């Protein structure tokens, strides 16, 4: 989305105009969006699992499936958060 003005010809870029700071800023925005989308998807999975658990009606197979869905969402959330922390730590050491 950040490069749409370039594709439309709305902005002229001179050769060599990109700096390391520009690229770093773009990558930071992309990483932030990916992080937020990942957390949102993981939370939706947790909510779907919770709804499935509430509507299981005592059926143990449905309850077990819903528990697996909830655990999957929690593990996904933990992985996304830890990945964000690791990336931020590595970037702070590099810069």
Domain boundaries along the sequence of the chain: 19-94
Higher-confidence position of 6 and 47: 47
User: What is residue 2's predicted lDDT score, i.e. its pLDDT?
Assistant: 53
Q: What is the 3-state secondary structure (H, E, C) of the chain?
A: CCCHHHHHCCCCCCCCCCCHHHHHHHHHHHHHHHHHHHHHHHHHHHHHHHHHHHCCCCCHHHHHHHHHHHHHHHHHHHHHHHHHHHHHHHHHHHC
Q: What is the mean pLDDT of residues 56-84?
A: 93
**pLDDT of 95 above 80:** no
């Amino acid at each position: 989305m950040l490069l749409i003005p370039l594709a439309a010809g709305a902005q002229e870029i001179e050769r060599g105009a990109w700096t390391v700071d520009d690229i770093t800023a773009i990558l930071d925005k992309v990483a932030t969006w990916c992080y937020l989308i990942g957390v949102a998807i993981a939370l939706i999975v947790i909510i779907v699992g919770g709804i499935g658990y509430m509507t299981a009606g005592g059926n143990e197979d449905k309850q077990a499936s819903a528990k697996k869905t909830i655990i999957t969402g929690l593990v996904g959330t933990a992985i996304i958060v830890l990945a964000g922390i690791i990336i931020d730590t590595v970037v702070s050491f590099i810069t």
